[in-house]
Amino acid sequence: MSKQKGNINLVLVIILIALGAAGSYITQDWIKQKQRVEELEKLRKIKALDGILKDALTFEFAQVTTTFILELKEKYDRPAGGAGVLKDLVHAFYSTDYTFTFGYDLQDWDWCSKVLDPQKGVVQVRAPAVVWTNKQISINPDRGTTIDGIFYTDLEAVVQQDVRERMSQKIKEKADAYLADPKLQLNIERALSNFLQQTMNEAHDGSPISRVVISESCN
């Protein structure tokens, strides 16, 4: 059983892997495309590809902090050679906070970008599916109330590992639930659209881009 703490808060956290320069939003092939960009600008069209990140990057656009509570009611074997627990049954509550981050993995992504309306400055790009970006789960649940079971250090380590595995499974299931939430998907899509609009406008001097439409296909 889990309880979500707080609302979904959009944050624009950009992790630039293998890119450290402030102007790293300019793609590697920008120089090769420069002439084409200038030609498009003369026609008062928009170079949709200019400024879109194309290297190995992860974009994180949403964070959700969730409190997980686990009621453990399980029997464990007593440690070999020791008195172990006074009772085999361990009944206790554990809790941990976990902050999910969601966004996009843009490595080698084909944007399929195109201009929809050059007069109004509307472009379209294809975005990958939203992913859970911090899958490397590292948790250390806190033990709260112990209802039954007094255990020594050896057994406590066994119980703690069991709790950690169960909590990790609950976290994975919750991540899947968040990824299936259409509201979260829409918020992240809007964040990506706004970011790309700003990035592309900074990367060229032509007509301003007023809107970036996110598509699921290249059509």
DSSP state of 108: T
Residue 176: what residue type?
Answer: D
Angle ∠(139,96,2) on CA atoms, nearest 5: 120
Which residue ranges make up each domain of the chain?
2-215
| Whether the predicted pLDDT of 47 surpasses 60 | no
| Beta-ladder partners of 71 | 93
CA distance linking residue 15 with residue 59, whole number of Å: 6
Q: Are strands 211-215 and 122-126 parallel, antiparallel or unpaired?
A: parallel
And the tokens for 123?
A: 């472009």
Amino acid 58: pLDDT: 75
Give percent of the chain with pLDDT exceeding 70: 63
- pLDDT tens per residue across span 115-124: 888 888 898 9
- Phi, psi for 116 (deg, rounded to 5): -90, -40
Residue 95: which of 133, 119, 66 has the closest Cα?
A: 66
- pLDDT tens per residue across span 196-210: 888 888 766 667 888
Mean pLDDT, rounded, of the chain: 71
Provide the whole-model pTM: 0.66
- pLDDT tens per residue across span 154-197: 677 888 899 999 999 999 999 999 999 998 898 889 888 988 88
Q: With bands split at pLDDT 50, 70 and 90, how would you rate the model's confidence at 153?
A: low
- CA dist list (Å): 31 to 36, 38, 97, 110, 208: 10, 11, 46, 19, 21
Angle ∠(17,23,29) on CA atoms, nearest 5: 80
Residue with tokens 């609950």: 170
Using left for φ > 0, alpha for ψ between -120 and 50, and beta otherwise, residue 51 falls in left
Give percent of the chain with pLDDT exceeding 90: 17
Amino acid 154: pLDDT: 61
| Whether the predicted pLDDT of 130 surpasses 70 | yes
Amino acid 82: pLDDT: 55
- pLDDT tens per residue across span 59-90: 788 889 999 999 988 887 766 655 544 556 78
